[in-house]
Structure 1
Amino acid sequence: MAIMLSRHVLQHGKPEERTSIIKQLAGQIVKMSQQKFASNVVEKCLSFGSPEERQILINEMLGTTDENEPLQAMMKDQFANYVVQKVLETCDDHNRELILSRIKVHLNALKRYTYGKHIVARVEKLIAAGERHIGVSSQSCRD
């Protein structure tokens, strides 16, 4: 019930209510992302949170080391992989590039995991879209 209410508040509630929920999740993002219904709440936080609130969640996912341990665990998880995909969909360009650079290191290993394959497909789609965008941009510069 609390999770259902949280999802509704994140989408339709006041900014201060949303902020309160995100603050309660802080420090638990990876754990919550690995649970069926709680992962939906984290996704809603990413969709409806402010850029600053999204940054809190992203920082926690990336962890404090270059080893990407929280992100690696999430990419292989049956529920958390969707949170990683939502991050890629909702973050700004700078964070997307940072996250993609950390994911690309693990692409071959992710192909061996059922849920990691979802991340590989999303990353390949983003890379292809980026190349098309760059191709269009450079084409228009020549005209």
Structure 2
Amino acid sequence: MRERSFDAISSSSSSFGELRNKIITFFEELRGKKLLAEGKPEEKDMIFPELKNHVRELMMDQFANYLVQKMFEVANEEQITELVMMVVSQEHKLMNICLDTHGTRAMQKLLGRLTTAEQRLLVVSALRHITITLSKKANGHHVIEHCLNYFPNENKKYILSVVADNYLDIARIPQMTHGILAQLAGNFVSLSTNKYGSNVFEKCMKKASKEQSMQIIQEIIDSQNFLTLFQDLFGNYVDQSPFSHAKGSIRHAIMNLIQMHYSYLLARARGTR
């Protein structure tokens, strides 16, 4: 089989349809596969502009999405940033990608290649506006879940805030609720004593199911930093929330802990040791 010259692709592709057909044919041949796997940077740079301009459509294509994912794997940091900017530039197209069977896989592959705070901020700034819609659909849920699983706290807090504001709707989706609690597990004390995190904590406690709220409370009373919740300025604001939800043995455990440390807590409240 004669190898097709990439120049024929990069120089004359004017529409998505033309580009799609040429790319698929090109990559089905050995030359296309070797270019991404072993090609020189300047060779890869030749294909990048064409793919970038149509990346959103290619991500949802039954065949081309695999080639785009391969491109994500070999793209450098600057190219990934350009791709992210293109993908998130239009909200409705971003939503279509995330909800599409092929698009969601390509989107998760792209998310896995993010290495800078700028790239992640671009993504969460766009996703926060469509988080609830995505969370209610299986394909979209996987995108949000990826962000919650792999993004640093300073990035995913924007998505968590949206989720907290709409917790009642989200709670109807078992996978999403489980994912959120799993992400917050081990951090409820620190979250509840943080200026911004306390808002998320408060909303979660108010809208969580009985079983979910019991899990949160159990973690708090089992924590070595339990007293921090009652000492901290912001913790004092939310400390009533666990009490309003605690029942039975867990409520008794909380009361016992407070009674055991009553003198210490009282002294702290008065500003003395």
Give TM-score scaled by structure 2 length.
0.43
After superposition, the C-alpha distances for 1:2-50 in whole angstroms (9 at most, x for unaligned) are: 2345344212211122111212213211111111221122122221112
Compare relative contact order (CA 8 Å, sep 6+) and give the higher one, 1 or 2. 1
Partner amino acid, structure 1, of 2:110: V
What corresponds to 1:95 in structure 2? 119
**Counterpart Cα distance in 1 of 2:81 and 2:148:** 24
Q: Is residue 107 of structure 1 aligned with residue 114 of structure 2?
A: no
**Counterpart Cα distance in 1 of 2:129 and 2:77:** 26
What corresponds to 2:63 in structure 1? 37
- 1:7–1:40 CA contact under 8 A, matched in 2: no
The 1:7/1:58 distance shift into structure 2, 3 A limit, reads farther
What corresponds to 2:103 in structure 1? 80
| Residue ranges of structure 1 left out of the alignment (5+ in a row) | 139-143
Q: Is residue 56 of structure 1 aligned with residue 79 of structure 2?
A: no
Dislocated runs of 4+, deviation >3 Å? 4-8, 129-132
The 1:116/1:10 distance shift into structure 2, 3 A limit, reads same
Q: Which of the two has higher C-alpha Rg?
A: 2
The number of residues matched between the two structures is 130
Deviates more, 1:92-101 or 1:71-80: 92-101
- 2:60–2:103 CA contact under 8 A, matched in 1: yes
What corresponds to 2:140 in structure 1? 116
TM-aligned CA deviation for residue 78 of structure 1: 0.8
- 2:58–2:64 CA contact under 8 A, matched in 1: yes
- 1:7–1:44 CA contact under 8 A, matched in 2: no
**Counterpart Cα distance in 1 of 2:72 and 2:54:** 14
Identity of aligned residues (%): 21
Give TM-score scaled by structure 1 length.
0.76
What corresponds to 1:141 in structure 2? none
What corresponds to 2:180 in structure 1? none
Alpha-carbon RMSD: 2.4
| Residue ranges of structure 2 left out of the alignment (5+ in a row) | 1-24, 155-182, 191-273
